[in-house]
Each structure stands twice: as structure tokens, then as C-alpha cells.
């Protein structure tokens, strides 16, 4: 399945003003938290110009280039420096390759050095990890909201070839175990079936998909039944997702065989706008156990919560 048919692909968000403003705010906040560069103030003349080069110290997939450019070219950027890129987002990078050249005031380059390297390092690490795991899986993969840098982590997943999943709490409904406990399962499921009677139209328009996390087969069939009914009675044809949380590969395989026997093949489910997601404890080391079972997508928190960065260096 092309990832663009999945509700988990929210990559259009990265073209919005909300994303661009969030990136600029991120850079400004990080620079503010760094404070004044005392060392450069003491030792570097204010007028001194220089050129620096950023070099890759590991192989990987580059990410973060567009975010750096977005900030540098914004009116909020206090620096008079220019980046001249030899590589762009999504490119393969290799040890010793020059990624870009930076020209401008030495103090400005030193002021933004660590932030630039941090962005390239983390985002490239996520993109590289995503790329490598996707190569191992016949099923599309997606991230989760287990992020450190929110939107930037999501963008890095996209550059690596994965799906973003929901961008935040604002663009999808995702009913999890705590919602079922806090709101009671019966009331939550009733509301889910008649969601248009509960949510203002303005909010409904923001919803990209409706998802429910289930923890056993009985819950799955309850939610599956609700989504089938919604497809038949609702004028708002959302995409519906059922997340199988911490199901074993054996239980997932058995469930898909049952659904096929009932006439609900993957193709038929998708015609009803119903998609099945596998999640919970899946990593690069065990994804082969899940990638051929017939799910629409596999989500992995490990793409962001425990990713290894790609190392870069900056030298004059």
C-alpha cells in the first residue's frame, strides 16, 4: 500500500505556517536558553569574517537542512550568515563528506554551531533509523508521539520514508485505554458511534482520522462493529484505525485469518475506510515478526524515543 493512502501520512502539515512558525520558535528558544556566548565575546573580534565546513562523521540519511534554512532566512534570525549546501534532506551521506559551508561573522557561526549540529544530528539519526527499519518491513511504518522535539522529530520520520501518524492531539481522535477507564468503555463507545452529536463542526473539520487502541480480541470486534456502522450511517466519511496494542504475532495472524474467513479481507476493510495498526514493543530487532502479517501500518516509538544520533563536526 502506498503510504499516501494511509491516514497516518500527515506530511502535508510540514508545508503549513504552523509548522514553519514552530521551527522558528524552536531555534529562537534554544538560542535564548543558551544565553550570551561569553567565550566568543572575549576572544573573537566582532568584525571578523570566516568560513566553516560541516562534515559527516557517520553514514546515514540527512535531515534538518530545510529547518536550518527556514530559520536562517527568517526575519527573526539575528545572524548575517549563509549556508551553502552540498547535500539536502533525504540524501545519503558518508563519513568524511562535506555537508555544507557556512560563511559570515565568526561570532555568529560559533553562536549557532551547536544548535545547527544538534538539529542535523538528531533529525538525521531519526531519518536514518526510519529508513533502515522500513527496509526490513513489508508493511509501512509510522512514528508515535514519543518525541523529544515534537514536529521536528515527525519531519525526520517523514524524510526517512516513514509515516508521521498524528501530528499532535489536535488533528485526530485516538481513544486509548485511559480514555476507556476515565470515561467508561460503554459511554466512550456510544459517543464514538455518534461523534457528530458531541463535537462542534469546527472541531470535526480538523479530524484527519478516528482511531481506537484495543488490547484484546473482544475489544477489537466491538470497535470494528462501530466503525462498520459509522461507515454505513455517517455522512462524514472519516478514515478509521484500530490499533492492536501489544498483540503477539500469533494472535494477530489468527485475527486476520478470522477476518478473511468472515469476508473482511484487507482490501474489503480498506473499502470501508478501516485500517489496522500494530503497535507496542516493536523494534528493528523484532519487526520481521510483524511485517508480513497483513496489517496496514506498524507504529514504533523506538523511531524517536531511543534513536542514536548521526555525528557531524564543524571546523573553520
Claim to verify: residue 118 and residue 144 sit in the same structural domain: no
Domain coverage including residue 295: 138-305
Claim to verify: residue 165 and residue 283 sit in the same structural domain: yes
Claim to verify: residue 71 and residue 168 sit in the same structural domain: no
Claim to verify: residue 112 and residue 152 sit in the same structural domain: no
> What CATH number should be reported for the domain holding residue 175?
3.20.20.70
CA–CA gap between residue 30 and residue 44 (Å, rounded): 22
Claim to verify: residue 88 and residue 151 sit in the same structural domain: no
Number of domains in the chain: 2
Claim to verify: residue 120 and residue 150 sit in the same structural domain: no
Does the predicted model carry a pTM greater than 0.85? yes
CA–CA gap between residue 34 and residue 30 (Å, rounded): 6
Stated length of the chain = 316
CA–CA gap between residue 121 and residue 309 (Å, rounded): 5
Claim to verify: residue 76 and residue 180 sit in the same structural domain: no
Count the Cβ atoms, other than its own, within 10 Å of residue 198.
Answer: 11
Counting Cα atoms < 13 Å in the Cβ hemisphere of 68 gives 31
Count the Cβ atoms, other than its own, within 10 Å of residue 9.
Answer: 20
Claim to verify: residue 14 and residue 47 sit in the same structural domain: yes
Claim to verify: residue 202 and residue 120 sit in the same structural domain: no
One digit per residue, the tens of pLDDT, for the chain of length 316 reads: 455 589 999 999 999 999 999 999 999 999 999 999 999 999 999 999 999 999 999 999 999 999 999 999 999 999 999 999 999 999 999 999 999 999 999 999 999 999 999 999 999 999 999 999 999 999 999 999 999 999 999 999 999 999 999 999 999 999 998 888 887 888 888 889 888 888 888 888 888 899 999 999 999 999 999 999 988 887 667 899 999 999 999 999 999 999 999 999 999 999 999 999 999 999 999 999 999 999 999 999 999 998 999 999 999 9
Claim to verify: residue 181 and residue 238 sit in the same structural domain: yes
> What CATH number should be reported for the domain holding residue 53?
3.90.1170.20
Q: C-alpha grid cell for residue 180?
A: 476507556
Claim to verify: residue 148 and residue 273 sit in the same structural domain: yes
Claim to verify: residue 78 and residue 154 sit in the same structural domain: no
Amino acid at each position: 500500500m502506498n503510504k499516501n493512502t494511509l491516514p497516518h501520512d500527515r506530511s502535508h502539515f510540514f508545508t503549513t505556517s504552523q509548522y514553519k512558525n514552530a521551527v522558528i520558535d524552536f531555534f529562537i528558544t534554544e538560542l535564548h536558553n543558551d544565553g550570551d556566548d561569553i567565550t566568543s565575546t572575549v576572544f573573537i573580534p566582532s568584525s571578523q569574517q570566516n568560513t566553516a565546513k560541516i562534515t559527516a562523521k557517520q553514514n546515514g540519511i540527512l535531515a534538518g537542512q530545510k529547518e536550518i534554512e527556514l530559520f536562517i532566512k527568517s526575519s527573526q534570525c539575528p545572524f548575517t550568515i549563509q549556508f551553502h549546501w552540498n547535500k539536502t534532506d533525504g540524501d545519503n551521506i558518508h563519513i568524511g563528506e562535506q555537508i555544507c559551508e557556512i560563511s559570515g561573522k565568526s561570532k555568529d557561526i560559533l553562536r549557532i554551531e551547536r544548535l545547527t549540529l544538534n538539529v542535523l544530528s538528531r533529525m538525521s539519526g531519526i531519518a536514518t533509523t526510519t529508513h533502515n527499519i522500513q527496509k526490513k518491513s513489508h508493511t509501512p511504518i509510522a512514528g508515535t508521539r514519543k518525541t523529544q522535539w515534537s514536529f521536528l522529530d515527525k519531519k525526520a520520520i517523514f524524510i526517512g520514508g516513514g509515516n508521521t501518524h498524528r501530528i499532535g492531539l489536535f488533528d485526530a481522535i485516538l481513544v486509548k485505554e485511559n480514555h476507556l477507564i476515565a470515561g467508561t468503555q460503554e459511554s466512550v463507545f456510544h459517543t464514538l458511534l455518534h461523534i457528530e452529536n458531541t463535537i462542534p463542526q469546527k472541531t470535526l473539520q480538523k479530524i484527519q482520522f478516528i482511531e481506537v487502541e484495543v488490547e484484546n480480541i473482544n475489544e477489537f470486534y466491538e470497535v470494528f462493529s462501530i466503525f462498520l456502522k459509522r461507515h454505513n450511517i455517517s455522512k462524514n466519511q472519516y478514515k478509521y484505525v484500530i490499533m492492536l496494542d501489544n498483540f503477539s504475532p500469533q494472535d494477530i495472524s489468527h485475527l486476520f485469518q478470522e477476518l478473511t474467513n468472515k469476508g473482511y479481507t484487507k482490501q474489503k476493510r480498506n473499502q470501508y475506510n478501516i485500517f489496522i495498526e500494530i503497535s507496542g514493543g516493536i523494534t528493528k530487532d523484532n519487526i520481521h515478526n510483524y511485517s508480513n502479517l497483513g496489517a496496514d501500518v506498524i507504529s514504533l516509538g523506538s523511531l524517536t524515543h531511543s534513536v542514536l544520533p548521526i555525528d557531524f563536526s564543524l571546523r573553520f
